[in-house]
Amino acid sequence: MPEKPAILYRSKDGVAEIRFNRPERLNVLDVESARGFHEAVDRALNEPAVRVIVVAAEGNAFVAGGDLAYFRASADKRSAAFDLIDPIHSALKRLAQSPAITLASLKGAVAGGGMSIALSLDLAIAADNCRFNLAYAAIGASPDCGGSWALPRLIGLRRAMEIALLCETVRSEEALRLGLVNRVVPADDLASETETLARRLAQGAPIAMGRIKSLLRSSWDRSFEAQLDAEGDSFGVCALTEDFSGAVDAFFEKTKPQFHGR
């Protein structure tokens, strides 16, 4: 019997879903899942119809960190780290640069690299049973998968330091209060609420939404004046689209706009 894939992938109606598929191990990150994640991201980004990419997981947890057994068995732990980290980092870079909106669907344990991946995506919806723990310091390591970049931007430097250094567990409602996630829903409703949000995003104007994503993500690296220039350029691009003209007409006609990505 063939071994089940480490990553599951499907796409429909503009939404691609990438699911970690090692539920019996709480979806800990190993080399196979890292490479599978990279391949799934490539697949999603090569489908022109995909407007939203959901990252989720099978079982009772999202991702409970890296596979420590893998590191324990490795003679060259530094090389082992790069074999695991590099495919995920490559995939996350592509997701950040893509106009597609990325959505983390979280439940149970969200730890280590799993927490970093979740923080690095554009939006996050969490079940009310989530337990967030950055966890790296507890094993004598520093963050990867974008955790050190996203965390202080989401919640501020002081609180980021506390979460990263003390490795204390943050539960769902506190994560929502801090701004680590956008929404918290009952665990039994996570799948349906994720689908509803993803489909709502997929029905939006993809060119405009991609531009919004790019402006917000790049704003940290620009002066106010440079950001104003970027906003003007971006609005100019949107103004030339059929989606913009159609939405303006729909506003005056009091109808719902339909966006086609052109």
Collapsed DSSP state (helix, strand, coil) of residue 20: strand
Query: What gap in Å lies between CA 33 and CA 59, rounded to an integer?
Result: 15
The amino acid present at 46, given as its one-letter code, is N
Q: Which of these, 131, 162, 2, 133, lies nearest to 66 by C-alpha position?
A: 133
Task: Provide the pLDDT confidence category of residue 2 given band limits of 50, 70 and 90.
Answer: low
Joined tokens for residue 28: 């800990």
Which uninterrupted H or E stretch holds 185?
Answer: strand 183-185
Q: pLDDT per residue over 214-243, tens digit each?
A: 999 999 999 999 999 999 999 999 999 999
Task: Provide the pLDDT confidence category of residue 35 given band limits of 50, 70 and 90.
Answer: very high
Tell me the whole-structure pTM to 2 decimals: 0.94
pLDDT of amino acid 248? 92
Mean pLDDT for the chain? 95
Task: Provide the pLDDT confidence category of residue 160 given band limits of 50, 70 and 90.
Answer: very high
Name residue, tokens 């391949």: 39
260-203-127 Cα angle (round to 5): 155
